[in-house]
Amino acid sequence: MFCSNCGAQIDSKAVICIKCGVPTNNVSQETSMLGATPEGRYDWLTVLLLCFFLGGLGVHSFYTKKTGIGVAQLLTLGGCGIWALIDFIMILTGGFRDGNGNPLYKK
Ligand SMILES: [Zn+2]
């Protein structure tokens, strides 16, 4: 296959182009196997479970790239649980947005 950036011929299993260092399509395939959807959105059930079990530590916020909110939730233990509860309801009702402003992906 060929690099989408510089057009150099690269190994079909390579994750980055050896000539220019740009990630190949293989990278996005790997991320989708880690739980991200093809559109780059996050799986609704995964985020819901993370919020339910680890919401007080802001894990669901870190997971959805809302790092600033995640840190704040970690320091306040999810706003004494209230913040985590609000996020849980938002996820449940479909109002939750990830760090890119996208809704979660329901299968
Ligand atoms: Zn390249």
Predicted confidence (pLDDT) per residue in 5-46, tens digit:
899 998 888 888 888 988 877 655 555 455 555 567 899 999
CB atoms within 10 A of CB 82: 10
> Residue 94 C-alpha to ligand 1 middle, in angstroms?
39
> Residue 16 C-alpha to ligand 1 middle, in angstroms?
8
What digits encode the pLDDT tens for the residues 55-107? 999 999 999 999 999 999 999 998 888 999 999 999 999 999 999 898 999 87
> Residue 55 C-alpha to ligand 1 middle, in angstroms?
40
The confidence score (pLDDT) of residue 82 equals 94
> Residue 30 C-alpha to ligand 1 middle, in angstroms?
19
Task: Give the gyration radius of the chain's Cα atoms.
Answer: 17
Output the pTM of the full model: 0.62
Contacts of 15 (CB under 8 A, 6+ apart): 23, 24, 26, 27, 30
> Residue 10 C-alpha to ligand 1 middle, in angstroms?
8
